[in-house]
Structure 1
Amino acid sequence: MTDSLFLAPHELPARWLHRRVFTFVDTTSSAFLPLWQLWRDDDARCDRLHVVAIAPLDALDHPPSIDDAAPLAVELARAWPMRVPGVHRLEFDEGRVVLTLAIGDGVQAMLSKLWLRADAFQLAPSDDPSKLCKTLARFAGDGATVCIDSSADLHPAWRRALESSGFECLSAATDARLVARFAPRWRVRRHEPPLPCDPSTNTNTREAIVIGAGLAGCAVTSRLAARGWRVTLIDRHASPARDASGNPAGVFHPIVWRDDSVAARLTRAGFLYALRRWHALEASHHDLHRSGAGLLQIADSPGDADALAAAIARFAYPSDYVQPMTRADASRIAGVEVARGGWFFPRGGAISPAAVCAAQLADASLRITSRMRTEVTRIAHDGRVWRAFDASDSEIASAPVVVLANAHDAARLAGLYGEPTRGVRGQLSVLDRSALDALRMPVIGEGYAVPLGAHETLIGATYDIDDPDREIREAGHRENIARVAGMLPHLSLAPTHVRAGRVAFRCVTSDRVPMIGQFADERAARQDAHRLSGAWPLDLPRMPGLYGAFAFGSRGLVWAALAAELIASLVEGEPWPIERELAEAIDPARLLLKALRHGEIGLA
């Protein structure tokens, strides 16, 4: 099977010889395992193999058999994702083999939502060759090959579609298999598919600066280091995870709502990818202090509980993703009485943000240079590299790539349009020997309560916009207790002792969606404002090598790992780990783009 699939039509393994990345797109649901085996058997293989497989949702009902004698099939079966739509990224062989499963309704519809540069396509015949081939042309790299198994009577339509989209057909009309190569003689697409930021193949020159050593910065450092980058990690504190990432625990869970909104899809993608990264860290013997009993969300009202139960049934979410809960059921699994029903996330829970940061940095330690107690006051690009400077205007570090993961200060360093971020003060409280001692799992809703063990419960948190006060307030403790008592009413029946408190600051945007991706070149955009008045994100000029991952609000645990993988994929020119629509929703240039469309920006 390997010979017939790859050696002849795609000229493998010769075409990936000593390549850094090779990307293979498959709509047949049969290519990954033989391709993975071929890669393993080749000493001159590419450094990273990406296989992007597009399949319908019911394909997740049929994982490889765990009883299969082939060890790769067993490994794939163990990593098989839960049955929810979207993009699932699975990593094997220490991250050098990546399977991106794009799961949704219709191959053409799902493929068109992605963004990647492909070296080869293995296709099952579709009902609309013309539309599919235009999509292939948007993604094809130089010399990309296409192989389609189809009957001879379908060949004329496919040949016409391929040739009109810039492909040269290589097989005869009578062949059982149609083979073509991307060789356009005219411009067939508006935008080039993703390319690496630094096309150099010399791994010794692949260096980056990451500013900020919280959840975002540590995750980005980890994902770049895993790809062979050397990273200078800079933070103003004495050690990583000192701001909101230093809280005793944080909760993690997706969003379930009446419709499958962008926010719901984003948090689902982030949640599932974070679980995979944490599992990998735990498999490397890092203790992340992760709870294991699941997480319960209490509805705001009985009507909301009923509406969400209906939505869970309508979307046919699997029980290992989310389960509706009556009040009685929720009280039973929580171990304490709850005020209303809600929904239960079996894979949700609480985790130590600081432990996650420490584990990521430990795994990447050989490729990290840490510069703690160092504040970056400005960054500058000299046409080749970025330079970071301190308050005395001394250079801290230089590199072709900079990632701003420093929350509130990132927008200032990048000079983002419209002051897009705000600070939110959050005070949390630690209760000692309270009515919540019997709580078995984290509970969220109007507030949150997390059992810490030894008769301690973490509750919170206040949400004080634009409040810079770092002092702990008794009023804040009372507010936290009142919020949690609205979900867990027994908390209000007895005196409650607050043993400790902590204040941390979140960074949020006006649309409550994070900033993740490559920054726009705002000066160039202003100079070309008239032409860009109808622009899309891919039309915007971008700052070479400058990326951001910040403004996560209360969802740093859910978004940080996926943000890091997206940025590393952007830097390397790899397939994006989420649909392009979702990436555009979190694009740091989205507010600039909106202003350009509304004519709010003229010449600088």
Structure 2
Amino acid sequence: MTESLLFTPHDLPARWRRTRVFTFVDTTFSAFLPLWQRWRDDEARCDRLHVVAVATLNALNDPPSTDDASPLAAELARAWPMRVPGVHRLEFDEGRVVLTLAIGDDAEALLSKLWLRADAFQLHATDDPRKLCKSLARFAGDGATVCANASGPLPMPLRRALESSGFECLPAATDTRLVARFAPRWRVRRHEPPLPCATSTREAIVIGAGLAGCAVSSRLADRGWRVTLIDRHALPARDASGNPAGVFHPIVWRDDSVAARLTRAGFLYALRRWQALEDAHHDLRRSDAGLLQIADTPEDADALAAAIARFAYPSEYVQPMTRADASHMAGVDVARGGWFFPRGGAISPAAVCAAQLADGAARITPRMNTEVTRIAHDGRIWTAFDSNGGEIARAPVMVLANAHDAARLTGLYGTPTRSVRGQLTVLESSALDALRAPVVGEGYAVPLGADGALIGATYDIDDPGRDIREAGHRENIGRVAGMLPELAHSPMHIRAGRVAFRCVTSDRMPMIGQFADESAARRDARQLAGAWPLDLPRMSGLYGAFAFGSRGLVWATLAAELIASQIEGEPWVIERELADAIDPARFLLKALRHGEIDAA
């Protein structure tokens, strides 16, 4: 694509000089490198450039050539994502240039599932553009420009579809190029696309210094926010985030469910963020031998092997394993076959938290040994209070990343979270001494080198006990022995145990995003009986990231990026239907739809 075709119709770079964030949507899969180069060359450039590129899965077949003379092409090639569907977020120039790749079987349908406010669109003309133009109208910011190119004469339906969707076609059009600007003369959409949180100061309070809170603090600090991070413990990562190690991997189902898609997105984004921390010389104590998942039954192993083949997942993402292959990979005998995640593994949650806080130290102020008992909003500012009613901190934005306390502080409808006690066991010596890689299934086993092996964990719902129990150790050993039979016949010594509490919801999905204004929703219950998530009134400046269950490592970084994107009015890092599935207001919305809430 020549520069005149790309920049002139959108009046670039002049237009991005008037905004902090500029978002460019590209369905031609060709605009990113020239846009990035022009952004770099412009001393008056916007602070952050977002490019959202939409394409089919085959577009990932050919990364940019590393032989290309452009150093930017080489950078893009090094960051090229795995060939799996979904939304991939790649960050360059210290996060100031962001490429969001939306990849699926039907690129046009996938575009309609995103959520963003766009300043410019670059398109290939289509024969039936009505659905496409409706998507453009949902996303267009004020004065957003559209440039559509065609190899032959432009189809007339495109002009009509744009005009009926609120775009004004401009005189710059030619036989093969159409240029338009969003200038609706009537209402063309039900909801306004995302806008930044309305605040004059870029200050935030984050409550909870575990995986979620540290990740949110880091992503906001990277965007220039000043963050007060509050936790009741003396140090970060003291609860479940303080376990000696945690496993991370996506999930593979027989169908590509919402849970599978969400976990894949979280896994891939976490790998990128962790790599950035490691490139900055932080030691995350991450294993590098992959992770093996043992199937519950031989039939499950066969079914998942068929699913992996059907979805054509690349071998760098997941590989089916026979029992013999899995035993060889693990270094010990396994009970059944399963599947292997080459990029999965184990990592220290506390090391991740420490690295994130160190990376954003200039903008993050920790307030440890401080318990928040109440929060309040005066219509503009959020304030956190201690048990004596004293003010701890105040800011226009607050993020609750404090597990069970988040639901308590906000009084969430229906008490949707529960506590799960998890006891871990550290074995000093056993048949697991030969274990080469983390193994998960009915339980999990993580080799710790000279420190033995970590196994676990119990799943004790609503059990508040913090004591270490022999019964819990026996349960852990029994679970892991069901995957690794030699453990049942090997002498072993238990070196230590640890109890931590996980926060879960009834649907086992996390709570991530902006809280609903439940008082307003109750008042308007009848009007909201058929509501969708975007219809709900929201609490200005209040967000949550909690109830991660046992998947905090996979979900925390994705949660942080989604919340930071919502606060900043940037393109969301996942499809809107995935965000709806983890919306903190989803249980309230369900009750409204079922008529379970009477108008206040």
Q: Same fold (TM over 0.5)?
A: yes
SS at match of 1:366: coil
Q: How does 1:420-459 map to 2 (within 5 A)?
A: 420-454=416-450, 456-459=452-455
Instruction: Give the letter aligned to residue 509 of structure 1.
Output: T
> What per-residue deviation string (whole Å, max 9, x for no partner) do you get for residues 48-91 of structure 1?
00000000001000110111111000000000000000000000
CA positional deviation for 1:105: 1.6
Calculate percent identity across the aligned residue pairs: 83
Q: How does 1:60-71 map to 2 (within 5 A)?
A: 60-71=60-71
CA contact (8 A) 1:293 1:349 kept: yes
2:528 to 515, 528, 532: 532
CA contact (8 A) 1:195 1:572 kept: yes
CA positional deviation for 1:175: 3.9
2:322 matches 1:320:
no
2:377 matches 1:381:
yes
Structure-1 residue corresponding to 2:228:
232
User: What's the RMSD between the two structures over aligned residues?
Assistant: 1.0
> What per-residue deviation string (whole Å, max 9, x for no partner) do you get for residues 291-313 of structure 1?
00000000000000000000000
CA contact (8 A) 1:148 1:177 kept: yes
Instruction: Give the letter aligned to residue 186 of structure 1.
Output: W
2:361 to 359, 362, 365: 365
CA contact (8 A) 1:241 1:353 kept: yes
Q: Which moved more, 1:2-11 or 1:548-557?
A: 2-11
CA contact (8 A) 1:91 1:97 kept: yes
CA positional deviation for 1:153: 3.9
Structure-2 residue corresponding to 1:547:
543
> What per-residue deviation string (whole Å, max 9, x for no partner) do you get for residues 354-409 of structure 1?
00000000000000111100000111000111000000000100000000000010
Distance in 1, matches of 2:331 and 2:564, equals 42
CA positional deviation for 1:174: 4.2
2:300 matches 1:304:
yes
Q: How does 1:380-419 map to 2 (within 5 A)?
A: 380-419=376-415
SS at match of 2:184: coil
List, as ranges, runs of 4+ consecutive aligned residues in structure 1 with deviation greater than 6 Å. Answer: none
> What per-residue deviation string (whole Å, max 9, x for no partner) do you get for residues 219-250 of structure 1?
00000000000000000000100000000000
Unaligned 5+ segments in structure 2 are none
SS at match of 2:9: coil
Unaligned 5+ segments in structure 1 are none
Aligned length: 600
> What per-residue deviation string (whole Å, max 9, x for no partner) do you get for residues 414-440 of structure 1?
110000000000000000111100000
Structure-2 residue corresponding to 1:41:
41
> What per-residue deviation string (whole Å, max 9, x for no partner) do you get for residues 103-150 of structure 1?
002221010010000000000112321111111000000000000012
CA contact (8 A) 1:47 1:96 kept: yes
Structure-2 residue corresponding to 1:3:
3
Structure-2 residue corresponding to 1:182:
182
CA positional deviation for 1:503: 0.3
CA positional deviation for 1:18: 4.4
CA contact (8 A) 2:154 2:177 kept: no
Distance in 2, matches of 1:152 and 1:429, equals 67
2:562 matches 1:566:
yes
2:83 matches 1:77:
no
Instruction: Give the letter aligned to residue 193 of structure 2.
Output: P
Instruction: Give the letter aligned to residue 413 of structure 2.
Output: Y
CA positional deviation for 1:154: 2.7
Structure-2 residue corresponding to 1:290:
286
CA contact (8 A) 1:375 1:391 kept: yes
Structure-2 residue corresponding to 1:89:
89
SS at match of 1:55: strand
2:581 to 580, 585, 589: 585
Structure-2 residue corresponding to 1:468:
464
TM-score in terms of structure 2 length: 0.99
CA contact (8 A) 2:208 2:402 kept: yes
Distance in 2, matches of 1:284 and 1:173, equals 48
CA contact (8 A) 1:484 1:491 kept: yes
CA contact (8 A) 1:2 1:38 kept: no
CA positional deviation for 1:152: 6.4
Structure-2 residue corresponding to 1:486:
482
TM-score in terms of structure 1 length: 0.98
Instruction: Give the letter aligned to residue 48 of structure 1.
Output: R
1:246 to 242, 246, 250: 242
Q: Which moved more, 1:106-115 or 1:592-601?
A: 106-115
